[in-house]
Amino acid sequence: MKTKILSISEKDIEIAARIIRDGGLVAFPTETVYGLGADALNAQAVGSIYEAKGRPSDNPMIVHIARASDMGRLTPRLSPDIVNLIENFWPGPLTMVVKKKDEVPDRTTGGLDTVAVRMPDSKAALNLITMSDCPIAAPSANISGRPSPTRARDVIADMDGKIEAIVEGEDCRVGIESTVVDMTSGIPTILRPGIITAENIEAALGKKVQYDPALLADDQAMKNQGGEGLKPKSPGMKYKHYAPKAQMTVIEGRRDKVKAEIKRLKGLNERLGLKVGIILFEEKAFIEAAHDFFAKLRDLDGEEVDLILAGAMSDSDGVGFAVMNRMLKSAGYNIAKV
């Protein structure tokens, strides 16, 4: 397939919108990461997203809308909490899981009776949704298991020849995927951390928010196993997300010790003839880390490093927690404590 490379001009977005209306696939920029979009209400079109990504078909998609009033097409009722979060955070990097209407195909929600919805804070994305005149289902526009794409060139590297068109926009402002919060029970539950934190949501709602116990349990269990130095572990398939081609280790501990250990391991591995890449953000630069992390992984892949040594950040900060969630998954929970 010849993939059209389009700009964010109105004329090109109209071409992209026609492709979506005709059941085709278009990659487009959002403020978080690039998405791979199809008409969310067209089961066949959504099916071809799974094919292009090589993604397991039980993994549900996020449905993107351009006006809050489009929520009514997707869900039968809006609780006061949902309305509150829409007012506070949309358009923006917050996805809400809500009860779904029958019109939303099972293919879009992986057979669940809920649907994940967000309104992206990107003019190109909002224009595309509006001109397509349908909600757009879009996972991140990477080959399944690869780092999420935050730059048009990353999308081209993964998707050229596989989809009808790619809309080339700016680099993504946020750099990690949206926060996903389940709003189907009384207690809002964070299923995936992002730059909108539990504290942000609590402040808006005036009530406690919880993390999905599975999120914390998985992280903790995998971390504990990974704590014995550099012994490589083979992670379960479930954890093979965002993986760079290189083997990756996260160094965790006091900052000065982390720096010293990275230096030591770099020297050691280089003497053994390996090419080593380093990911070390400023200690409290959580927003910058979120912005740069996936791009850095892809750049190091491009440099064909054999080993990536990454310095852990504090996960007591909400954004730090979101960055560490991606970093640990990328490393297959391969952690060295110092």
Contacts with Mg ion, residue ranges (CB under 5 A)? 140
Name which of ligand TXA, Mg ion, none residue 75 binds, using a CB cut-off of 5 to 8 Å depending on partner kind. none
| Helix (H) / strand (E) containing 44 | helix 43-53
Question: Binder to ligand TXA among 112, 157, 205, 285 (CB under 6 A)?
Answer: 112
Name which of Mg ion, ligand TXA, none residue 33 binds, using a CB cut-off of 5 to 8 Å depending on partner kind. ligand TXA
What 3-state DSSP class applies to 212?
Answer: coil
What 3-state DSSP class applies to 185?
Answer: coil
| SS3 of the chain: helix, strand, coil, percent, to 5 | 40, 15, 45
Give the span between the Cα atoms of 40 and 196, in whole angstroms. Answer: 25
Interface region with ligand TXA, contact rule CB under 6 A, candidates 3-11, 137-145, 207-215, 313-321? 137-145
Binding status of residue 71 toward ligand TXA by CB under 6 A: no
Name which of ligand TXA, Mg ion, none residue 62 binds, using a CB cut-off of 5 to 8 Å depending on partner kind. ligand TXA
Binding status of residue 197 toward ligand TXA by CB under 6 A: no
Name which of Mg ion, ligand TXA, none residue 116 binds, using a CB cut-off of 5 to 8 Å depending on partner kind. ligand TXA
Question: Binder to ligand TXA among 191, 280, 285, 287 (CB under 6 A)?
Answer: 191
Give the span between the Cα atoms of 338 and 79, in whole angstroms. Answer: 47
Q: What are the residues facing 250 on neighbouring strands?
A: 310, 335
What 3-state DSSP class applies to 35?
Answer: strand
Give the span between the Cα atoms of 132 and 297, in whole angstroms. Answer: 33
Binding status of residue 143 toward ligand TXA by CB under 6 A: no
Question: Binder to ligand TXA among 3, 75, 127, 178 (CB under 6 A)?
Answer: 178
Q: What are the residues facing 64 on neighbouring strands?
A: 118, 136
Contacts of residue 176, Cβ cutoff 8 Å, sequence gap at least 6: 32, 33, 148, 194, 195, 290, 293, 294, 322, 323, 326
Name which of ligand TXA, Mg ion, none residue 135 binds, using a CB cut-off of 5 to 8 Å depending on partner kind. none
Question: Binder to ligand TXA among 3, 32, 122, 189 (CB under 6 A)?
Answer: 32
Give the span between the Cα atoms of 171 and 86, in whole angstroms. Answer: 25
Between 141 and 276, name the residue whose CB sits nearer to ligand TXA. Answer: 141
Amino acid of residue 243: A
Structure tokens, 303: 């440099």
Number of residues that bind ligand TXA (CB under 6 A): 25
Name which of Mg ion, ligand TXA, none residue 108 binds, using a CB cut-off of 5 to 8 Å depending on partner kind. none
Between 37 and 226, name the residue whose CB sits nearer to ligand TXA. Answer: 37
Residues forming the site for ligand TXA (CB under 6 A): 30, 32-33, 35, 59-62, 93, 95, 97, 109, 112, 114-116, 120, 138-140, 177-178, 180, 191-192
